[in-house]
Amino acid sequence: MRALPAAFVGPIQSDETGRDSLPRCRPISIGFLLDILARHCASLVDFTPPSQSDPMTFDTSFGQPTSLQSDQDDLLEVTETQDIHTILICKDALWLGAKHDGYSLASFDNYKLRREPGVARLDLHRKQNSPLYAALQQSHHTFGLLETMLDRHIPERRLLRRLHDGKVVITTQEVPGLLRECQDHIRSLRKTNPDAFKQWSQRARHALESTRQFILWESHEADRTFSKVELNSQDVGRILHTIAAITEASWSFLDCELHEAGVVSDNLTGLQLPGNINEACRHEMAEDGWCPFAASQLHGYSTCALGFASTCKPFVRKGVDHRDHSQCTHKMCCSNNIDPATYSNLHVTEDCTCKSVVPPVEQIKHALSRKEIPIIRIHAMTTPDDERVTMTCSTASSGTSYVAISHVWADGLGSTAEKGLPTCQLIRLAESAHQLVDGGFLWLDALCVPEEKELRKLAIGLMGQTYRKATKVFVIDSGIRSCSVNASTEERLLRVVVSGWMQRLWTLQEAVLASELIFQFSDGLLTLGNLLRLGTDWTQPVAIQLCCAFGDICMLMSTLSRPPSSLRLQGVINALRGRSTSKISDETLAISSLLGVDSYALASIDSLTERMKMFLLQVREIPSKMPFLVDGPRLTGPGFRWAPATFLCSGEASRMVGDGDVALCTPEGLLARYYCFTLETPVALHEDNVILSKITLSGPDLVLYYADVNDPVEPASGDELCNAIVLQTEPSFDNLAMAVSMEEGLMRDSNGVVRRRCSYIKAIQVKFGMLGVRSDVPLREPVDVEEGRFVDVCLT
């Protein structure tokens, strides 16, 4: 695959205290994900890239706009143009009153000066944080930015609307249309005048970078532009969110257009927006009934996706226990979890009292005992006075087509073969199965997995084959089913992305292994290919960003034909971010088929620790960066203290990215080659952030600042003294690292490689370089450090 621009399109994540933290890994490029999505869609449906309109010609020189008159009296009212298909990338924000129309087109840097002549006068407004300056800043980083992108004047009526009470707001309703106009313009420019196209891209980059710096300033400084303007916090939050959303949409658009043009440039750095820029939006969404976890997930995808969701009504499942999202957190949606002790099935309608029907259990057990996949056909006989259901059992080995059902238990379809399901649900399932495959055979865990422990193990061992062999995989989710197939592309994508189905552990495997994945909407069906194909027009920022939520799934789908590898494991770990399960013991079972691990052997082990060890040993090839991840608990046994106890983590956790460097998991430890710094004096390392500083300009001397004077001298209980710092590769300024205890002697592995045995203590972050420390911080004396070098290690 060709080299692609790495444009970071998500905001910097925030920790629980609200402080901004930089991304700890490289982001996925929009262009890269679009390549993956396009390939996947092409393999499922006839994929055609979005059509391009006939190019239009624009005068790219700065000059007078078409009209110099301000038309604020002619602004449309919000309700005059909005309909169900209106796509906003954020909620409308209060307009502070800057006059945009009536001035000739100016460069981005001269936008404010064109409207308030005189540098000294403008600077005075800036120092005073005057209302005029705040209004000019808002106009500069919205109208001024978009005019730089389009190379022409944008009249106020394209972005401003008047409310019924007379207030004026800025709306993003026409941003996608403006991006389409920009696309026509620059593609024409690229064909007719490559030099002018290059100049345009430089102007656009500069304007975007300037606006990004403005957003960073506004998010960090106490004395901000809008702090002395009489605005409430919600208005300030919406103004900043609007600027951030327009910036992100334009940045992603520029990235994709440069990628389309074959331009790879290091000058377009990642769009690293501060996480707190979206806090006001997330707070509003929680007040509107949105799940904080769903908002957190969307925040991780993009500002535009989050902003669009904030304009939509949240879905609250009327499922098991009828829970809302009042108990949910930004790390977990509680409404998806079920309590097996109180769980009961739901009927199709709330007033239904039909009885449950049990499938032919003995035939199902007999099929499983022969290690065959049982499949069920539901025979529904309905009359005005009676509804009767019977079921017959066959096996997938007979070559019969069948549909595998993918669902979440919180929607009320969970059960075991011995208990069955309500008649009304079986009738609905029969209708769907007959619509999807000839003969109407289906596989559903509630009907095909017995409660008996040994047979359940056999069914789990066959789970990967079950979904891989299915003619179709059919997704049933109440959140997705609340949306019409006639809704906008953005809303269809949103309902899938925030659905319970996208948040559960088992559904990852079910999606990836599907030969054809079909979603049930309220009034029709959509394949995954069609769902994504409709959202790959990069003038539509919300659809593009929501499509990227499927990037990990599509990458796993695209590599299924290849042998399992460390990159596959890396992809699975990334795809598990934000997923959860009511039974943590199911974790390795639910991903084993994606990595060639024996599911039945895993299910035969009761200890979760031993199950994870067997999983890692069977995978064997591990991403070498895995021990450096700081999220989550670790295993405790000898040889595995470096290993995660679970791959499940919040959606805000860092992605694992890299070039495929491999370490080998063995019973003795992880065999890898890392860059090591040895401490001349072992220390108790309590801090997670340390400084590795060169203390002279000319020499190789290094010291480690590792603790303040109040930290304990002894290590934490169970930890050893740290005598080495391990990095994955040669150091940069900011590094993920490990604190280890390195043994004196050498060992030889089974391949004859001489290694140093290192006992894992914990993951840390290291700042490296010619760094000083503040004199007012009471730090303990640093320790001397030997110059770093690559070492073959056995990490235990």
698 with 740, same domain: the answer is yes
516 with 410, same domain: the answer is yes
DSSP codes of every residue in 243-268: HHHHHHHHHHHHHHHHHHTT---TTS
Domain boundary pick from 650, 681, 698:
650
For residue 335, being part of any structural domain is answered with no
Q: What pLDDT does residue 383 have?
A: 66
424 with 520, same domain: the answer is yes
211 with 255, same domain: the answer is yes
148 with 234, same domain: the answer is yes
For residue 50, being part of any structural domain is answered with no
Q: Which of 647-661, 662-676, 747-761 is the least confident region?
A: 647-661
Task: Copy the structure tokens of residue 23.
Answer: 């991304």
359: pLDDT strictly greater than 50: yes
Domain boundary pick from 238, 273, 308:
273
Q: What pLDDT does residue 774 have?
A: 67
Residue 289 is inside which H or E element, if any?
Answer: none
161: pLDDT strictly greater than 80: yes
10: pLDDT strictly greater than 50: no
State the pairing for strand pair 524-527/517-521.
antiparallel
Domain boundary pick from 650, 678, 699:
650
100 with 189, same domain: the answer is yes
Q: How many domains does the chain have?
A: 4
Q: What pLDDT does residue 594 have?
A: 96
206: pLDDT strictly greater than 50: yes
Q: Average pLDDT of 309-331?
A: 81
Q: What pLDDT does residue 44 have?
A: 45
Q: What pLDDT does residue 26 have?
A: 34
Q: How confident is residue 11, by pLDDT bands cut at 50, 70 and 90?
A: very low
Q: How confident is residue 182, by pLDDT bands cut at 50, 70 and 90?
A: very high
Q: First and final CA of the chain: distance in angstroms? A: 36
Q: What pLDDT does residue 384 have?
A: 63
Measured distance CA(592)–CA(594) in Å, rounded: 5
For residue 347, being part of any structural domain is answered with no
What digits encode the pLDDT tens for the residues 409-449?
A: 999 999 999 999 999 999 999 999 999 999 999 999 999 99
Q: What percent of the chain has pLDDT over 90?
A: 63
Residue 744 is inside which H or E element, if any?
Answer: strand 734-748
Q: What is the CA radius of gyration of the chain?
A: 29
444 with 579, same domain: the answer is no
Q: Average pLDDT of 142-169?
A: 96
Contact 578, 328 (CB under 8 A): no
- 475 or 779: whose pLDDT is higher? 475
Q: How confident is residue 699, by pLDDT bands cut at 50, 70 and 90?
A: low
Q: Which of 281-295, 626-640, 734-748 is the least confident region?
A: 626-640
Q: What pLDDT does residue 767 have?
A: 92
536: pLDDT strictly greater than 60: yes
Q: What pLDDT does residue 720 have?
A: 86
340: pLDDT strictly greater than 50: yes
For residue 248, being part of any structural domain is answered with yes
Q: How confident is residue 386, by pLDDT bands cut at 50, 70 and 90?
A: low
Q: What pLDDT does residue 55 have?
A: 33
Q: Average pLDDT of 39-60?
A: 38
For residue 72, being part of any structural domain is answered with no
287: pLDDT strictly greater than 60: yes
DSSP one-letter code for 626: G
Q: Average pLDDT of 168-197?
A: 95
Q: What rounded mean pLDDT belongs to the chain?
A: 85
Q: How confident is residue 323, by pLDDT bands cut at 50, 70 and 90?
A: low
248 with 376, same domain: the answer is no
635 contact partners, CB below 8 Å, separation of at least 6: 609, 612, 613, 641, 643, 644, 645
719 with 643, same domain: the answer is no
Among 15-19, 113-117, 146-150, name the most confident range: 146-150
506 with 590, same domain: the answer is no
Measured distance CA(678)–CA(21) in Å, rounded: 28
For residue 770, being part of any structural domain is answered with yes
Write down the residue that tokens 């309703």 correspond to: 173
487: pLDDT strictly greater than 80: yes
Q: What pLDDT does residue 390 have?
A: 94
- 81 or 660: whose pLDDT is higher? 660
12: pLDDT strictly greater than 80: no
What digits encode the pLDDT tens for the residues 230-273?
A: 888 899 999 999 999 999 999 999 988 988 888 765 445 567 77
465 with 572, same domain: the answer is no
CB neighbours of residue 721 within 10 Å: 15
Q: Which of 461-465, 565-569, 722-726 is the least confident region?
A: 565-569
467: pLDDT strictly greater than 80: yes
For residue 334, being part of any structural domain is answered with no
For residue 535, being part of any structural domain is answered with yes
Q: Average pLDDT of 713-723?
A: 84
DSSP codes of every residue in 171-238: --TTHHHHHHHHHHHHHHHHHH-HHHHHHHHHHHHHHHHHHHHHHHHHHH-SS-TTTTSS--HHHHHH
585: pLDDT strictly greater than 70: yes
Q: Average pLDDT of 322-330?
A: 78
- 674 or 46: whose pLDDT is higher? 674
What residue numbers bound the domain in which 520 lies? 356-557
691 with 544, same domain: the answer is no
Contact 787, 700 (CB under 8 A): yes
494: pLDDT strictly greater than 60: yes
Helix (H, G, I), strand (E, B) or coil at 403: strand
310: pLDDT strictly greater than 60: yes
Of residues 173, 94, 55, the one with CA closest to residue 541: 173
617: pLDDT strictly greater than 90: yes
